[in-house]
Amino acid sequence: MVKYWQRFSAVAVGGFIGGAMRESLELLLQAPNFPFATLLINLTGTFLAVFCTVWFTEKRHVNQLLTDFISVGILGAYTTYATLITETSTKLAPISGMVYIAVSILGSVGMVYLGRWLARKVVHEV
């Protein structure tokens, strides 16, 4: 049985890593007129979240602490749609903002299907 402090620690350490990854990409991919880093983070975060969910579900022997560390900790801190909404309302003109939101949402839905397909392919080949 996973104890509270173990889960808390796994999520906290994962959150530190995910937040650091997010900030690193934000700093590396600075663009004054369009939030490319946030778009990339949201798309890759969606893909990784779905991939990990399928992987952890179909590989039934995955440790719960590892699941919490990656899914809740790393990916929870790495991607957030609150940033998408904030950047859209503060940095972009209305038309650009609508395009950005549409690409983010449609791209993320595409990443769900891609992540699910690839995870199942990997799980069944291993």
Q: What is the pLDDT of residue 31?
A: 85
Q: Name the 3-class secondary structure at 33.
A: coil
Q: What is the pLDDT of residue 50?
A: 85
Question: In 1-126, which ranges are continuous DSSP H helix?
Answer: 4-28, 36-58, 64-67, 75-78, 81-91, 94-125
Q: Which residues are annotated as a binding site?
A: 76, 79
Give the residue extent of every domain in the chain. 4-125
Q: Which residues are annotated as a binding site for Na(+)?
A: 76, 79
From first to last of its 126 residues, the chain has per-residue pLDDT tens of: 679 999 999 999 999 999 999 999 999 999 888 889 989 998 998 899 888 888 888 887 888 899 889 988 999 899 877 677 767 877 788 899 899 999 999 999 999 999 999 999 999 887
Nearest to 75 by CA among 5, 7, 17: 17
Q: What is the pLDDT of residue 54?
A: 86
N-term to C-term CA, the chain: 27
Q: What is the pLDDT of residue 21?
A: 96
Rounded-to-integer distance, Cα 56 and Cα 19, Å: 22
List of residues 6+ apart from 83 with CB closer than 8 A? 35, 38, 41
Rounded-to-integer distance, Cα 60 and Cα 1, Å: 16
pTM of the model: 0.74
Nearest to 104 by CA among 26, 14, 40: 40
